[in-house]
């Protein structure tokens, strides 16, 4: 875990929650966290849900953002801590952009049939040749 650039101000988080939050903020996967803690994936998932509940978050990225906003996590840069409204705005903008890019990417992967009513083009041509259903 690369946590040397992060500072943690524990408020209502126990030691395990603090480790979990730092691990997720530094990009550690659930399987790596499970190995480090000596538990299984189900336990890590349960701990993630408890952490999200403590931070009033809907997802892990939201929990990390909430930790930054509430001042639980901060970024160290050359001995200085980045704080203030500009940082929060920048972080929120990054989260919005990432979420927007993910949703745009999922929309582009959607396949749509060019046929009316989900009919196969071959079926439409056979129906038209047979003289039935002239409005096609």
pLDDT at 66: 84
Q: What is the pTM of this model?
A: 0.52
Using CA atoms, how far apart are residues 65 and 26, in angstroms rounded to an integer?
A: 13
pLDDT at 72: 82
Residues of the chain with pLDDT under 70: 1-11, 77-86, 100-125, 132-136
Using CA atoms, how far apart are residues 11 and 73, in angstroms rounded to an integer?
A: 10
pLDDT at 133: 58
Enumerate domains of the chain plus CATH numbers: 6-83 (1.10.10.10)
Q: How many contiguous H segments (helices) and E segments (strands) does the chain have?
A: 6, 3
Token match 């952009």: residue? 97
Q: Residue 34 is encoded by which pair of tokens?
A: 């499970």
pLDDT, one tens digit per residue, over 111-129 is: 555 555 555 666 666 777 7
- Residues 127 and 136: beta-carbon distance below 8 Å: yes
């Amino acid at each position: 875990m690369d946590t040397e650039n992060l500072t943690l101000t524990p408020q209502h988080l126990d030691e395990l929650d603090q480790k979990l939050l730092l691990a997720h903020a530094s990009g550690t996967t659930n399987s790596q966290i499970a190995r480090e803690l000596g538990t299984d994936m189900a336990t890590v998932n349960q701990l993630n849900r408890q952490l999200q509940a403590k931070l009033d978050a809907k997802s892990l990225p939201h929990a990390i953002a909430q930790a930054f906003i509430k001042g639980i996590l901060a970024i160290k840069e050359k001995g200085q801590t980045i704080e203030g409204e500009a940082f929060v705005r920048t972080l929120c903008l990054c989260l919005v952009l990432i979420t927007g890019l993910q949703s745009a990417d999922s929309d582009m992967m959607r396949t749509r049939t060019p046929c009316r009513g989900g009919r196969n083009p071959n079926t439409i041509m056979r129906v038209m040749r047979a003289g039935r259903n002239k409005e096609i």
